[in-house]
Structure 1
Amino acid sequence: MHHAFQIADREINVALSRARTGYRLHLGERIVPVDLRTGADGRAWLTLGDAHIEVVVATRGDDVFVHLDGEAHHLRYRHPLDRLAAAAAGHAEDQIRAPMPGSIVSVAVAPGDAVTQGQVLLVMESMKMETTITAPRDGVIATVNYQPGQTFDRDALLLSLEPMETCA
């Protein structure tokens, strides 16, 4: 499962997958075995590869506070749909990307169609949940890259927009 965390002014993208014992943390091309366990005495231990580190973790909503190796860290979880909405704002982002892996349920537009902000472009399904993707602004559909039934990975280019004025 893919996740993003805001740490200071940087966004860190990670993926977590199950392993035989614990999990695997995917950081770009690096894969690190990871596990978090609480001992009988209530202390928590984080295992990263071969290192075992005592850690204190507290959460409040999307905020995660981690204290390890004498340092405190504040992380903020970024929900995939919130990230998609932020990325689609304004004319600079003409590419509509998948917020998570899934499949296309329906496509409501075709290349050349004029769309208005908020108009339904497509419906996708991920983890048995349907998500409606709408136009972030007025424009003309340049490309539609997936059709109903096709699957895609997170961050796949679903479709792209052109400004109205370039399509006169």
Structure 2
Amino acid sequence: MPETAIEELFRTAQHSCRHLETRDAYALDEDYREWTAGERFDPAERWSWWGELVSATVARGVSVQRARIVSEPLSPYVRYEYELTSPHNIKAGEDVRWLPRRQASALALPGNDFWLFDNGSVLFNHFAGDGTMTGEELVTDPAVVRLCASAFASVWDRAVPHDQYQPF
């Protein structure tokens, strides 16, 4: 089975993989519905492929960072993400930070969530209004990469580390 674009980019990254999330909801899939119904599951087990990919990347000395810009009080979906962050993202080796949306007003941000790899390429994630992912777009244009690197750095510098963030 061929690797997805994200898997290939993770496996070839040499220094950093940085993700910026800006939405208050993504696709309300079966996992989300189970979680909100009280059917708890081990995210490290459910999404083991991600944990293995991140762990292998971090083991090579590549930093994996995720910044989330969130509305407060948190939407039900972002609350779900928050509750899964420690047993999933942090456990795999990601460094995760949270930035309340009201603190992002003065930042210039791209219009889409993205992954930035080694400050050399950007993988944009495109979503429909209901949060369903509709596609990805890999961009290596230096101006776009600089914009995304600057945006991520601005968010990261203002954001609160996961273990210190107190959502409401």
Instruction: Bin the TM-score by the shorter chain.
Output: under 0.3
TM-score (norm 1): 0.21
Higher strand proportion: 1
Q: Highest CA radius of gyration, 1 or 2?
A: 1
